[in-house]
């Protein structure tokens, strides 16, 4: 098993760290580091062996998309693609590696990049601009695109706008000159001030789970009835909590049985749910993240582990995942500067 972690780091130092799992010692060993990229705050792993990372520039709107070939735990730079986008914070690549979709929080835009294919060079083929506001004057002064995720069948792309409390849906046509198009459905409007952030799909692809940053909630949607009200809305905090709210990540395990979400601010917790047959969630556990600001989490299926990237305490906490979905802190951590994203480098099984 191999994992990689992106961090808030200058281009001059190691910004992406690659680890391999040592079965004998039952721990992660540092295998390689990647420098030359500034603030790779989110990563995307393609099973063909390519790691994608984009720069989250704190100033200006000139950004870069990097791709690396990972072999035997070592990284080799493949491409560096320039694009315009302020505060890039999320990236997804389709299964055929035809396009990369980059969410730009600062500029409120979504960038679509055609990835290099044999004799065809990479280029920006689409840049979607959004506008809107919400009731929070500091966080919702304008549109802030936070995530763009393809449906399981890659027919649609769903995009969250933290600034205007909306989810947009587009038809994805990979062979078209303009790959993303309006599907004719209205934007999905969330409660004012909720701040939609990250998305995850059920294993069947029907149920869409969204974590909100500003209200720290999970919303469950039935995509067969897009535009309808959520079938469930759950707070990530305990009854009576009145402190700051800051939901972060949401992930579904490979078997589609459990969902995990993180809550930052003053809470710093991981919340576990069981996914029921109708897509709704049943709360099963709330556990401390063993660190500050759990920004991202990774479910390592093979070793039954959950890794939590705690940005403000400079650690990745390692939890054991039990058969009932509950977590136990192993008291083991990886020390990294401002970790923001953790991915497992899983390749397709060979026969």
CA distances from 222 to 205, 226, 231, 251, 332 (A): 10, 7, 7, 17, 38
Q: What pLDDT was estimated at residue 25?
A: 86
Q: Give the H/E segment covering residue 330.
A: strand 327-335
For the chain, domains (ranges, CATH) are 2-344 (2.130.10.10)
Phi, psi of 35 (to 5 degrees): -110, 180
> Higher pLDDT residue, 89 or 25?
89
- How many Cβ atoms sit within 10 Å of the Cβ of residue 124? 17
Question: In whole angstroms, what is the distance from residue 42 CA to residue 56 CA?
Answer: 8
> Higher pLDDT residue, 58 or 95?
95
Q: What pLDDT was estimated at residue 117?
A: 82
| pLDDT mean over 243-267 | 96
Q: What pLDDT was estimated at residue 351?
A: 38
The percent of the chain in helix, strand and coil, each rounded to the nearest 5, is 0, 55, 45
Least confident of 26-40, 140-154, 337-351: 337-351
Q: How many C-alpha atoms does 313 have within 13 Å on its Cβ side?
A: 18
Residue 120 has pLDDT above 90, yes or no: no
Residue pLDDT, tens place only, 319-350 = 999 999 999 999 999 999 999 999 999 876 54
Total-model pTM: 0.95
Question: In whole angstroms, what is the distance from residue 20 CA to residue 6 CA?
Answer: 15
| In contact, 341 and 5? CB cutoff 8 Å | yes
């Amino acid at each position: 098993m191999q994992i990689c972690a992106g961090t808030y780091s200058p281009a001059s130092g190691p910004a992406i760290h690659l680890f391999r799992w040592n079965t004998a010692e039952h721990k992660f060993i540092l295998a390689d580091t990647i420098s030359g990229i500034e603030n790779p705050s989110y990563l995307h792993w393609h099973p063909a062996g390519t790691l994608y990372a984009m720069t989250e520039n704190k100033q200006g709107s000139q950004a870069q998309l990097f791709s690396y070939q990972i072999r035997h735990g070592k990284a080799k730079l493949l491409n560096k693609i320039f694009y315009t986008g302020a505060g890039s914070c999320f990236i997804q690549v389709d299964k055929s590696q035809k396009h990369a979709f980059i969410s730009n929080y600062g500029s409120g835009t979504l960038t679509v990049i055609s990835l290099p294919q044999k004799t065809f060079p990479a280029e920006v083929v689409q840049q979607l601009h959004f506008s809107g506001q919400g009731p929070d004057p500091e966080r919702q002064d304008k549109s802030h695109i936070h995530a763009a995720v393809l449906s399981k069948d890659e027919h649609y792309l769903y995009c969250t706008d933290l600034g205007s409390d909306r989810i947009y849906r587009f038809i994805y046509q990979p062979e078209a000159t303009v790959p993303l198009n309006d599907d004719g459905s209205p934007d999905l409007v969330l409660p004012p001030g909720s701040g939609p952030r990250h998305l995850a799909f059920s294993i069947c692809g029907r149920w869409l789970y969204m974590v909100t940053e500003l209200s720290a909630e999970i919303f469950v949607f039935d995509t067969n009835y897009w535009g309808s009200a959520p079938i469930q809305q759950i707070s990530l905090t305990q009854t009576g909590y009145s402190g700051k709210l800051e939901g972060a990540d949401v992930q579904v395990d490979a078997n589609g049985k459990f969902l995990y979400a993180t809550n930052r601010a003053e809470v710093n917790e991981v919340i576990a749910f069981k996914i029921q047959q109708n897509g709704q969630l049943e709360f099963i556990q709330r556990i401390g993240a063993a660190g500050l600001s759990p920004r991202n989490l990774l479910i390592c299926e093979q070793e039954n582990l959950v890794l939590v990237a705690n940005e403000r305490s400079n650690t990745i906490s390692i939890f054991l995942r039990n058969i009932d979905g509950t977590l136990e802190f192993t008291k083991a951590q990886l020390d990294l500067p401002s970790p923001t994203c953790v991915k497992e480098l899983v390749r397709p099984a060979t026969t």
